Amino acid sequence: MDVMADLVADGDVVDAMVADLDEDGWSTPTPSVGWTVKHQVAHLSATFRLAGLAATDAAGFQALVANLSPDFDTNVKMAMSQFLADPVKVLLLRWRHEKETTEKALAAAPAGQPLPWLVRPLPPSMLAAAGMMELFGHGQDIADALGVIREPTDRLGHIVAFAVRTWDFGYESHGLPTPDVAFRFEITAPSGAQWNFGPADSSQRISAPAEDFCLLVTRRRHHSDLAVTATGDEAQRWLELAQAYRGPAGPGREPGQFKRPEG
């Protein structure tokens, strides 16, 4: 799978959800408390701008990061503020500009040259996968707010691989030591393909459809409302901690908040 092409495709899915919204649509509350659809797009715009800067101007990126607050939430609010002040028609154009500029910048970056990022340098492909994770999570909030059902595709494989690689982020965000154990992840793609990671004989196993796994690690659904199976005490504990992003975990979603339809 081509992560750069898939990043473009996922960005287009989010764009299609907001392209024809009126003012009331942009003001629709999302499941992220205090965030409207406009907040979600502003956040994505700021995130893509940051990734585009990392891909095109390493010195500029490092100068910006050097001036960030030690408080994560403060940085998020500051980054969003430059987009939230815009009228929605302007924000839509700016979102598209940041998205398209960053897509091209990541695709043009040398594959073997890590790009500066917030904690450690990442290769362009992994930064693109991180962007897809952001699009999935914040796109889900927009979809939930607007009553849109997104059709899962095997593009989720990039997010799955990213989440497996960052499986310890949940422990870090809760100030817990990372256990000395290798998890086995057995994930079923929308196409029916099987994506397996980790030792086959591990006593700690996570099994799930890809969409449910991605909803879990972006904390857009409570694990009790997903078809996720955990085997082993540590795997069971991980379900409560799982996240594929740095920073505070946030409140996540309540059990039963998004129950699956019967049948």
Which CATH number is 53's domain given? Answer: 1.20.120.450
CATH for 201: 3.30.1050.10
Shared domain check, 164 and 79: no
End-to-end CA distance of the chain: 32
Of 117, 146, 175, the domain-final residue = 146
Q: Check pLDDT > 90 for residue 246.
A: no
What gap in Å lies between CA 125 and CA 107, rounded to an integer?
A: 8
Per-residue pLDDT tens for 191-237? 999 999 999 999 999 999 999 999 999 999 999 999 999 999 999 99
Structural domain boundaries enclosing 8 = 3-146
pLDDT at residue 251 in the model: 85
Overall number of domains in the chain: 2
Structure tokens at 129: 């996968």
Residue 263 lies in a domain: no
Shared domain check, 161 and 55: no
Per-residue pLDDT tens for 12-51? 999 999 999 999 999 999 999 999 999 999 999 999 999 9
pLDDT at residue 263 in the model: 44
Residue 234 lies in a domain: yes
Residue 29 lies in a domain: yes
Average pLDDT, integer, range 145-151: 96
Residue 189 lies in a domain: yes
Shared domain check, 118 and 24: yes
Per-residue pLDDT tens for 96-129? 999 999 999 999 999 989 999 988 899 999 999 9
pTM over 0.85: yes
Edge to edge, what strands does the sheet with 184-188 contain? 194-197, 184-188, 205-209, 229-231
Shared domain check, 176 and 103: no
CB atoms within 10 A of CB 80: 21
